[in-house]
Amino acid sequence: WCKPLKSVFVTFPGDVIKNMTNKELAEQYLKRFGYLNVMQKTGLQPAVSASKALKRMQRQMGLEETGRLDETTIDAMKQPRCGVVDVRN
C-alpha cells in the first residue's frame, strides 16, 4: 500500500503568486476583471452582491450560473487568460 505523501507547502523566494485561499482568489478575480465594484453615478461602490458578481462571471465564461464558488468556477479562475477586464466600469 502506498503511504500518502504528507505535502508541506513552502513560500518560494521570488514567487510572484502567493498561496491564497479560494475565497481570496475569487475576490481578487472578481475585482480585477470588473465584476465587483461597478461604478455607479454616486461613485465607486459595491453595486452587486458577491453572488451576483459570480453569476455574471459564470455567464461570461459559459459556466452554469450557480452564484456559488463551486469547483468549476474556481478552476476557471485559475486558467491562464488575457488581462483585459471583462466588465468595463
Q: Summarize as ranges the residues that interact with other proteins (CB under 8 A).
A: 5, 7-10, 12-17, 19, 33, 38-39, 41, 56, 59-62, 76, 78-84, 86-89
Phi/psi at 56 (5° precision)? -65, -40
Rounded to whole angstroms, how far apart are CA atoms 84 and 34? 10
Q: How far is the CB of 75 from other proteins (least distance, A)?
A: 11
Q: How far is the CB of 46 from other proteins (least distance, A)?
A: 14
Rounded to whole angstroms, how far apart are CA atoms 61 and 79? 11
Task: Identify which of residues 1 and 8 has a Cβ nearer to other proteins in the complex.
Answer: 8
Task: Identify which of residues 1 and 79 has a Cβ nearer to other proteins in the complex.
Answer: 79
Q: How far is the CB of 5 from other proteins (least distance, A)?
A: 8
The DSSP call for residue 48 is S
The three three-digit cell numbers of residue 22, written as one number: 479560494
Residue type, 33: F
